[in-house]
Amino acid sequence: MTYDSFITVESRACYGVRFRVRRLSLARRMELVRLIRETGETLAFHMAGDSVIDAAHAAEIRARMDALYIRWGLEEISGITIDGEPISLDNLLERWPDALAREIVDSIKGELFLDEDERKN
């Protein structure tokens, strides 16, 4: 058996971009849970509120959580420069196309959580 600790994804949002996402292991799950536990609790609190301020806080926290997922799960990205500069995680988080960000976060979450068919097995 050969097991790769990552998957490579060809971006649908940005032609020519490829990225590698970590696959889940027990140690990686514990690390991620530790990173998002407190932030997730705060998000739940603000999502329960009905004010505009709560909604704004919830949106900010969701964005921070997405950045956590990306920092945790994105191993490599290629096929893109930003403002002529080589890609790095920092300039990626600050200036990347939003559609690419969503795609990467969705890919990371897809590796973390079982879908309905996988849970049945």
Cα torsion 77, 67, 107, 23: sign: positive
**What are 36's two structure tokens?**
């998002």
Residue among 2, 14, 40, 23 nearest 107 (CA): 23
Q: In this model, does residue 121 exceed pLDDT 70?
A: no
Q: What residue has token string 């790095």?
A: 88
- 27-46 pLDDT, tens digit per residue, is 888 888 888 777 776 766 66
Query: What pLDDT is stored for residue 8 in this prediction?
Result: 96
Closest CA to 91 of 105, 77, 104, 107: 77
In a domain, 63, yes or no: yes
| Residue 54 included in any domain | yes
Strands (E), the chain: 6-10, 18-22, 74-78, 81-82, 85-86
95 token code pair:
């200036």
> Residue 54: which pLDDT band, with cuts at 50, 70 and 90?
confident
Determine contact, residues 32/112, Cβ cutoff 8 Å: yes
pLDDT exceeds 50 at position 64 = yes
Say if 47 falls within a structural domain: yes
Residue 107, pLDDT > 90, answer yes
Q: Say what the pLDDT of residue 88 is.
A: 81
Question: 89 in a domain, yes or no?
Answer: yes
Assess if residue 1 is contained within a domain. Answer: no
When the pLDDT of each residue in the chain is averaged and rounded to a whole number, the result is: 82
Domain count along the chain: 1
100 domain-assigned: yes
Within-domain flag for 121:
no
pLDDT of 59 = 78
Residue 75 has pLDDT above 80, yes or no: yes
pTM of the prediction?
A: 0.78
In a domain, 120, yes or no: no
Domain that holds residue 15: 6-115
